[in-house]
Amino acid sequence: MPRFCTLDDLDVAGKRVLVRADLNVPVRDGKVTDTTRIERLAPTLAAIVERGGKPIVMSHFGRPKGPDPSQSLRPIVEPLSRAAGGRPVRFASDCVGPEAKRVVALLRPGEIALLENLRFHPGEEKNDPEFARQLAALGDVYVDDAFSAAHRAHASIAALAHLLPAAAGKNMQAELDALGAALENPTRPVIALVGGAKVSTKLDLLQFIIGKVDRLAIGGAMANTFLYAQGRPVGRSLCEQNLADTARAILSRAQERGCEIILPEDAVTAEKLEPGVVTRTIGVNAVPATAMILDIGPQSAERICQALEASKTLVWNGPVGAFETPPFDRGTIAIAKKVAELTRAGRLMSVAGGGDTVAALAAAGVTDDLTYVSTAGGAFLEWLEGRELPGVAALAAP
C-alpha cells in the first residue's frame, strides 16, 4: 500500500474542508436503521472543527438515476448532527451550484454542511472532471473518509482528490491501518476464513489470499463446490458444478504455496431452508441425494476453532452457513464467539468485513470484541482481491 497523506498532514484552520463520506446507510420509513457509518465519521468531523476548519460533507446514497426524492440525504441530517455531538448540520438541496455555494457561505465555525446526494448528477459516476471542478469550487482542501466507497472511481473520490490538497480522514486511516496489519505486515500464522454462497463471486479473492495466508478455512455454500470437486456427494445443495476444475486448481495451488486449506468434515443438512426444520448432522461423505448442506457441522466448527487458536491474525469475510435462518446460524456463531474470546485474550488480531459478516457478528453479540470490523462491503472484497482501490490510490503521497 502506498504511503498516504492523513488529516494530520493537512492545515485546515480557517478552511472549507470537503469531506467525502459514505453515508450510504440502511434507511427504513425515513429512519436510519444502522448508524455505524455515520458514527465512524465523527472523529474526522471533530478533528476538523477543533482545528478551526469547516466540514462540508458529501456522499452518495443508493443508486438513483438522476434526482430522486426517495434517495435524498435529508434524513441523515439529524443522525449526523447527533453523531457530531449535537453540532448544527446545514443541508444543501444540491451538491453543486448556487444552492450548495449559498449553504457553504453561511457556515459558521462549529457548524457542518451536508450536501445532497452526489449521484443526483450523472457526472459523479462518470468521474467527470467538470463535475469534480464544481465540487472543488466549494472547498479549499479535501478529505476522503469513505473507505467503503474507495473501489468506485467516481468524481468525488478520484478526480476531485487531484484538484485540491487531499488527505485520508480518521476512518479511512483506521480501515487502511487495520487491513494493512492483517495482510501486508501481519503477525503469523495468518488464517483467512471465507464463506458465502458462491465461489464465482470470490474467485479472485481466493486466488489472491492463498498466496498471502498460512491457512484458509472455507465455509458456506461455496465450500460445497470444493466438496463436489473432491468427488463428495452434495445432494441438492447450492453448488457451482461448472467450477469444479477451478476449485481443484485452487486447492493444488494452495498446496504449492504451503497454504493449508480447511474444508468442512461434517454438515448440518435439511430438506429445505426454513426456520426450525428437521435437520440431520452428518459427515460430508454421507450427504443424501435429497438433502441440502446448510451449515458446517460441530466437528468442522471445532476444527476451525482449533486453527484459530493456533493463529495470530484472522481475516474474515462471509458466514459459514445460512445464518439468517436458525438453526443454520450455529456454526457461524460458534466461530464468532471463539474469535471474540481469543481477541479479548490478546491472542488474536481479528479483522472482519462485508455486510453478511457484520450482521453475523452483530447476531452473535461480539462486534465490539473484534480488533477491527470494516464498514465496507465491495471495497473490502476488492481489497482482499489485492486490487488497487481508486479512492486509496488518489490519496497516495507524492
Angle between helices 221-229 and 244-257 (to 10 degrees): 90
**Angle of helix 355-364 relative to helix 330-344, nearest 10 degrees?**
80
Shortest separation between residue 208's beta carbon and Mg ion, angstroms: 20
Site for Mg ion in 369-388 (CB under 5 A): 377
The residues that touch ligand 3PG, with contacts defined as CB under 6 A, are 22, 24, 63, 148-149, 152, 377-378
What spatial distance separates the first Cα and last Cα of the chain, rounded to whole Å?
Answer: 13
User: In the bound complex, what is the minimum distance in angstroms from residue 257's beta carbon to ligand 3PG?
Assistant: 30
- Judged by beta carbon distances under 5 to 8 A according to partner kind, the member of Mg ion, ligand 3PG, none in contact with residue 148 is ligand 3PG
Minimum CB separation of residue 156 from Mg ion in Å reads 16
Task: Count interface residues toward Mg ion (CB under 5 A).
Answer: 1
Residue whose cell numbers read 451538491: 95
CB nearer to Mg ion: pick between 295 and 382: 382
Q: Which does 152 bind (CB under 5 to 8 A by kind): ligand 3PG, Mg ion, none?
A: ligand 3PG
Contact track, Mg ion, 220-239, x by CB under 5 A = --------------------
CA distance 166 to 378: 23
Please report how close the Cβ of residue 148 comes to ligand 3PG at its closest, in angstroms.
5
DSSP code string of 126-139: TT-HHHHHHHHTT-
Q: Assign 143 to helix, strand or coil.
A: strand
Pick 72 or 311: Cβ nearer ligand 3PG: 72
For 241, other C-beta atoms within 10 Å of its C-beta total 11
CA distance 343 to 258: 25
Least separation, in Å, of the C-beta of 223 and ligand 3PG? 25
3-class state of residue 214 by DSSP: coil
Active site residues: 37, 198, 355, 378
- Give me the helix-helix angle, 330-344 and 298-309, nearest 10°: 20
Q: Which does 215 bind (CB under 5 to 8 A by kind): Mg ion, ligand 3PG, none?
A: none
| Beta carbon nearer to ligand 3PG, 239 or 360 | 360
Measured distance CA(111)–CA(90) in Å, rounded: 7
Residue at grid coordinates 435439511: 270
Partner touching 240 among ligand 3PG, Mg ion, none, CB below 5 to 8 Å by kind: none
* DSSP for 21-57, written as a single string: ------EETTEES--HHHHTTHHHHHHHHHTT-EEEE
Q: Which is nearer to ligand 3PG, 149 or 182 (CB)?
A: 149
Residue placing its CB nearer to ligand 3PG in the complex, 25 or 340: 25
Determine contact, residues 24/150, Cβ cutoff 8 Å: no
Our CB check for ligand 3PG shows the closer of 63 and 188 to be 63
> What residue 257 binds from Mg ion, ligand 3PG, none (CB within 5 to 8 A, per partner kind)?
none
Cell 482481491, located at residue: 385
| Partner in contact with 386, chosen from ligand 3PG, Mg ion, none, beta carbon below 5 to 8 Å by kind | none
| C-beta of 377 vs 390, nearer to Mg ion | 377
- Distance (Å, rounded) from C-alpha 325 to C-alpha 273? 7
Burial (CB count within 10 angstroms: exposed 0-12, middle 13-18, buried 19+), residue 363: middle
Q: How far is the CB of 393 from Mg ion (least distance, A)?
A: 20
Closest chain position to ligand 3PG (CB): 24
Considering the complex, what minimum distance in angstroms separates the CB of residue 65 from ligand 3PG?
Answer: 12
From residue 283, alpha-carbon distances to 69, 136, 287 in Å are 53, 60, 7
Residues at the interface with Mg ion (CB under 5 A): 377
